[in-house]
Amino acid sequence: MDDKGKKGKKVGADGLTKKERRALKVETEKSTEINKSSTIEKLSHPKKHVIPPPVSDNNKRVDPEQRTPAKSSSNVDTVKAVISQNTNRKDAEKSEKISAASELSKAELKAQRRAVQEAQRQAKASQKVVTNDNQTPKNNIRSNAAEPPKRISPKKDLEKSPTKHRVQLFHHLYIEDFQVQSLKKYTINKDIHPAFLQLGAQYLSRSILGSNARCLAMLSALKTLIDDFQTPPKQEFCRSLESTLKTSMNHLKTCRPFAVSMTNALRRFKFFLTQIDTNLTDGAKQSSLQKRIDKYIEEEIVIAGQAISNEVNKKISDNDIILIYGYSSLILQILIDAEKAGKKFRVIVLDGRPLLEGREMLRRLVCANIECSYLLINAVSFVMGRVTKVLLGAHALLANGYVMSRTGTAQVALVANSFKKPVLVCCETYKFCERVQTDSFVYNEIADPDKVVTVDVSEKSSYLLNWRNNNYLTPLNLMYDVTPSDFVTAVVTEIAVLPCTSVPVILRMRPVE
């Protein structure tokens, strides 16, 4: 552009006008884009190394067939074709195997595996026969010798109850069917004292019922064991007695699970065993332990029962109608003491199957000249309106305030609460337990299911006696139920009349063991 043309336009320091500068910028951007695209293509598609054709002196043209790159490319193609053929053949074989395996049924596959296992067993047996033929006659004589008889453990002797007649919700509570008849076949351990063998048979036959009665029987057998115990040579009295006691207690647990009262009494005895003076003679230790047991029975059971009886008698007035359920030694003592005190009252004895403990309670109350009525538990709602007080016994009192007692107690307490009747639970403090329980499923005891299928109190033959032949019928006989603290007005103990929620306080007050 000449100077005349540039005079009318503004020229910058570089000697270019604004229009020329814009055109130059567009050209540079196009060149940079072209360079970027070329570099990307080079990176994504790198060039193969091609051998240049040989150059002759005469600058003759070389045929394409004579060039090495063509030969190498043809070789690569053939290799790729062979590899693809091999992979296709392997895939075809795999698919054929899979299809053949899918065509075989499960029974055929099992038959094939069994045939292979049988062939392996036959091969091993033939090898054993060959090795036995090569052995010396001495080895044959030893192998033919009679083996010593093996000691059979109690768990193998006991027959487990069939799993098809088990309620799934209570599956963890089922124990082995250890009946009294199996005691004749039972391999008895020589370390078990005869007193505990007799006690185990009584527990098993349910001839001893009730937490107090079971605890007293166990402590009586324990006193007999201490009296007859002789310390083995080179052993200490307390340690050897504890090991012997453990064997006997395991036998009792095999016959029937421990009650809470038994567990607490046994724990207290072991505490006494650790506190005894080691410098005393064996005779002095025996007499000391027996005195401790007598003191425990006197304080925790006898005196505690008298204190509870005195406290309840203050609540009983003339013309009262008292309702009780089942059998309880403590309730029986309370009512007999109230009658001896000259109070006029009437007792309604409620009873329930299958144990029907109320019949024994009724017999003893009638012998004590107490006016009684006998009803089954299904009539509780008809008589609750005339009742003034409800007295119930307890198997144990749990840490959350729930009462564990004979099956049916919770129903009686529920009906009494709906009728606004006071419910007094009489329980000694040695039955208090640290366990927490809100239902009857986690911890309970399952009794003989045959006792449930009897129709009447005479226990005659029933249509349900052959229930084991019916896969859709499973009788369940639970021993205990759990009563919520809301249905209990108060718990009468030897310490005081307390609410159910005071159980943790009593547990903290008891001596540390």
User: What are 287-319's pLDDT values in tens digits?
Assistant: 999 999 999 999 999 999 999 999 999 999 999
Structure tokens at 334: 């309370």
- The CA distance from 402 to 410, in Å, is 10
- The CA distance from 395 to 375, in Å, is 22
β-bridge partners, 358: none
In sequence order, the 6+-apart residues with CB closer than 8 A to the CB of 169 are 441
* pLDDT at position 187 over 60: no
What's the confidence (pLDDT) of residue 142?
44
Structure tokens at 75: 């070789």
**What CATH number matches the domain at 181-300, 1.20.120.420, 3.10.20.740, 2.170.140.10, 3.90.1310.10?**
1.20.120.420
Q: Report CA dihedral (104, 106, 110, 115) to the nearest 10 degrees.
A: -20
Topology agreement, domain 181-300 and domain 318-455+466-509 = no
* pLDDT at position 191 over 80: no
- The CA distance from 395 to 173, in Å, is 18
Domain ranges of the chain: 181-300, 318-455+466-509
Structure tokens at 109: 């596959």
In sequence order, the 6+-apart residues with CB closer than 8 A to the CB of 282 are 231, 237
pLDDT, tens digit (0-9, with 9 covering 90-100), for 1-13 = 455 455 555 666 6
- The CA distance from 84 to 81, in Å, is 5
The answer to whether the beta carbons of residues 331 and 391 sit under 8 Å apart is yes
Q: Give 113's pLDDT tier (boundaries 50, 70, 90).
A: confident
Residue whose C-alpha is closest to residue 475's, from 458, 453, 459: 453
Going by CATH, does the domain composed of 318-455+466-509 fall within 3.40.50.10470? yes
The answer to whether the beta carbons of residues 185 and 179 sit under 8 Å apart is no
* pLDDT at position 71 over 60: no
- The CA distance from 262 to 186, in Å, is 25
Q: Give 173's pLDDT tier (boundaries 50, 70, 90).
A: confident
- The CA distance from 74 to 52, in Å, is 17
Residue whose C-alpha is closest to residue 416's, from 486, 508, 357: 486
Residue whose C-alpha is closest to residue 231's, from 182, 292, 282: 282
Mean pLDDT, the chain, integer: 79
Structure tokens at 22: 């814009």
